[in-house]
Structure 1
Amino acid sequence: MAIIEVRDLGKRYGPRVAVDSVSFEVAEGEIFGILGPNGAGKTTTVECVSGLRTPDRGSVSVLGQAPADVRAAIGVQLQASELPERMRVGEALSLFSSFYPAPADWSARLGLSGHLKAEFGQLSGGLKQRLSIALALVGSPRVAILDELTTGLDPQARRDTWSVIEDVRAAGVTILLVTHFMEEAERLCDRVAVFRDGRIAAADTPSGLVSRVDGSCRVRFVPSAALDVAVLEALPEVSSVSVVGEQVVVSGSENLLHAVTSLLARKQIVARQLRVDQVSLNDAYVRLTGGSSDVADH
């Protein structure tokens, strides 16, 4: 069952087209990721899904209704969220909890218990981000929209937050996640849409996107003797060969390493400084966005 349905979504700001003919569905209990360079239309799209912006054309439904009609069932953590500078963390949590009949307290899980008396204006960027997530989840939403979920968090806090999100999904919450972190997308997302210039360039599982990149494996080495790269190119497991200085870089199928090392052994050539790289989601992202690499691969 599709919990979120987006059909031919379009949104512009004056002459600039922010989102152009975007369509996708998110199934119940799924974590659907959105990736893309800055200005690709990601935030505008999720703001339309959350009901914070009105599309110029197309349609958006959440739980079978217009987003504005089911706002109580949607938790939203925006890329930039602000509270009054003097408001304390505990006050913000109490205020937001009062809006819902059965609020959920995520402060302990998100490391906020020791900061309840701290004023918002005195919080670090990471603590502000954790508070924003806690406020998005306080209403026990059926749908959570998380824009740049872990920006500003240190690596350990980021992983702790991922565990929280996995718990939220396990409770049946459907999650729409905008992220700049490849590792985050690979760990959390069932499917990912890659945005480019206001459109979806591709949508698939993380592994499905990786499989679209030519050559699922790369072998790098410095040969101990002269090597004619044509003999490597003739191997059925090889898709491409390049030479960078003394280093030979071979791309190909998952059986590439065995094929290359066997050939070198027959020619009595030692592969020095041998390294094997698996094609990653970041490689797929760069290919799909035309070489843009402003997404963090960590």
Structure 2
Amino acid sequence: MKILVAMSGGVDSTVTAYKLKNAGHEIIGCYMKLHGKPNYHEENIKKVEKVAKFLDIPYHILDLQEDFKDKVYMPFVNTYKEGKTPNPCALCNRFIKLGKLLDFAKSLGCEKLATGHYARLEEGCIKTAFDESKDQSYFLASADKEALKYLIFPLGEMKKEDVKKFALGIEVLKSFATQKESSEICFVEDTYVQVLEQFMDTKIPGKVLDSKGNVVGKHEGYMHYTIGKRRGFEVKGAHEPHFVLKINPKENQIIVGKKEELKTSEFNLKNINLFIEAKELDCEVKIRYRSKSTPCKVIIDEGKGAKITLNEPVYGLASGQMAVFYDRDRVIASGFIE
């Protein structure tokens, strides 16, 4: 089978390419240039070249910087500007890795696209990875349903520690097993605020309000805060921890309260992405990547939004984040929290 492998220069994509080549497939590597972070691509491309030479496979460098800026980078900036919390990895998977890269794979006559994601595919559905601590089904849940038939995730049945051990056992790949893991958001060096500072003034002091509308303190600019944050602002006379409950970007205000006020039992979803035919779902939902699944009921409206009612409340629901719905270990839908 002719397969395009997304190669980043990391251990996961390297082992993915190695395993598929050894299984007898015709492999083509592809490195994606997604952003212009200094000295980022040069080092990675050297690693990809090393692997391609070792495996004796051709590779391409695909410049997707304009697409990435349009579909991922600027939506990231604008979502924070709106006082919401973006999910750039979900957008990147849908539009870039499983969108533009898949189109490129097809243009080369490849039957499949393989990535180093930790997830499984079964009967056209995404399922959680064998290694629960590295499971990336949440970030893949934004994928177009039609794209799934072309995908392969060779690491879905492996544990991360075994992937590293595998690489350590091959002389040329040893250095890949010991290198530092890449950050979750590839274009963020230290903090997301540094990215925002390139487009706007983030240091505009504003008022901190309680949930009744009383001014209780000051903050250093609303873009420094996300829902649930408990530090970096002033609350006069507070004897208990206070958390960000809401952000009002137009007035440069943050609304804070005690932990109990972060509780939510229902919310609305926009742009629901369904992997099964349904108008109602009884399932479980994750409201962020590392959150526990919560049982819920989903009522889907004709405009492809949805109302979610939770069986038990969650804390710190953030507008702009992705909610992912599971039937046990199978992803059945996703969407963005309003």
Q: TM-score, normalised by structure 2?
A: 0.24
The higher radius of gyration belongs to 1
Q: TM-score, normalised by structure 1?
A: 0.27
Instruction: Tell which has more relative contact order, 1 or 2 (C-alpha 8 A, sep 6+).
Output: 1
